[in-house]
Amino acid sequence: MKKNGKEVAFLGAKALYKKEDLMQYITYCVSKGVSYFITTDGSTWEVYDTYKKADLENKKLISWDIEKEPLEEVIRKSLSLAKPIIYSPNQEPEIKEVPKSLFSSVKEGETEIKPTPVEKTKDFNQGKIKITIDNESPIYVDKHNEILYHTVEWLIKKGYITEKDLPIKVGERGKRYLINTDKKHQDGREFINYKRLSNGWYLLTNFSSIFIKNLAEYLMEKYGKGNKIVIEEIKG
């Protein structure tokens, strides 16, 4: 991330649920004069003040988990990254959270969120997405949730995921189902966004683009018997 042409934050993306030594990355940020380090596995996001003289936990400025927190809270916190303050010796670094009043209406059970209008910017994910599984002919899709759909369809058609594997859970706590014969979670809640698979099962797709990529790779690693998936963004 840059502000006025100056790099103010580095982003470190890791595999889903993978634990890493973050201090090595924070030390690298300091060596490059970068004030903030953002780490994510696609589900959990954490922002650290690299210059703060404290242990790792107290360097953390803000964090959120898209699997465990309400959608409006995730958006509110993630928008806090919009205006990071550049560190200077005379200024205590901080990231201010976006106020909850930004959201005009969010009803329980609905996915639609109506924020206060903001200036539109170009979507960095514009363009088609190329998916290649096991060196087979590539598949081209327009939406990130289709990555997950085609990955699961491939695993089902190859016989790597069968009904005895269901329900397949998502998240470390496993309270939500990713794939199930019914479009309901363990606690009876309905899937918010989902796709119907060719065999009639239901696939939850209510995830961020980064999380979907990590999840597709995770499913291939767990069920794909050594086969790999390659996901490429094709800029138009």
The pLDDT tens digits for 68-88 are 777 777 787 777 665 544 334
Where is the domain boundary, 86, 102, 118? 102
CA dist 224 → 11, 155, 162, 163, 218 (Å): 29, 7, 12, 16, 9
Average pLDDT over residues 130-149: 90
In tens, the pLDDT along 32-79 reads 888 888 888 878 888 888 888 888 888 888 888 887 777 777 787 777
For residue 205, is it within any domain? yes
Q: Are residues 98 and 161 in the same domain?
A: no
| This prediction's pTM | 0.51
For residue 33, is it within any domain? yes
Q: Are residues 10 and 61 in the same domain?
A: yes
For residue 98, is it within any domain? yes
Q: Are residues 64 and 133 in the same domain?
A: no
Mean of per-residue pLDDT scores for the chain: 77
Q: Are residues 137 and 96 in the same domain?
A: no
For residue 156, is it within any domain? yes
Q: Are residues 97 and 138 in the same domain?
A: no
pLDDT of residue 133: 93
| 8-17, 101-110, 163-172, 213-222, range with greatest mean pLDDT | 213-222
Q: Are residues 96 and 134 in the same domain?
A: no
26 vs 3: which has the higher pLDDT: 26
Q: Is 171 helix (H, G, I), strand (E, B) or coil?
A: coil
Q: Is the CB of residue 29 less than 8 Å from the CB of residue 84?
A: no
pLDDT at 215 > cutoff 70: yes
| 2-16, 78-92, 110-124, range with greatest mean pLDDT | 2-16
1 vs 53: which has the higher pLDDT: 53
Q: Are residues 153 and 211 in the same domain?
A: yes
Q: Are residues 93 and 164 in the same domain?
A: no
For residue 151, is it within any domain? yes
Q: What residue type is assigned to position 90 of the chain?
A: N
What percent of the chain is modeled with pLDDT above 70?
Answer: 76
Helix extents (H) in the chain: 22-31, 56-59, 71-78, 145-157, 209-223
For residue 113, is it within any domain? no
The residue to which tokens 């916190």 are assigned: 77
First to last CA, the chain: 22
For residue 116, is it within any domain? no
- Edge-first strand order for the sheet with 9-13 is 9-13, 36-40, 44-49, 60-65
Q: Are residues 96 and 142 in the same domain?
A: no
pLDDT at 103 > cutoff 80: no
User: How far is the C-alpha of 13 from the C-alpha of 39, rounded, in Å?
Assistant: 6
pLDDT of residue 173: 65
Q: Which range among 3-7, 70-74, 143-147, 222-226 shows the weakest confidence by mean pLDDT?
A: 3-7
Burial class (CB in 10 A: 0-12, 13-18, 19+), 109: exposed
Average pLDDT over residues 2-15: 76
Average pLDDT over residues 152-176: 88
pLDDT of residue 149: 93
pLDDT of residue 125: 41
For residue 203, is it within any domain? yes
pLDDT at 147 > cutoff 50: yes
Q: Are residues 216 and 165 in the same domain?
A: yes
Q: How many domains does the chain have?
A: 2
What percent of the chain is modeled with pLDDT above 90?
Answer: 24
**Domain of residue 204, residue span:** 129-233
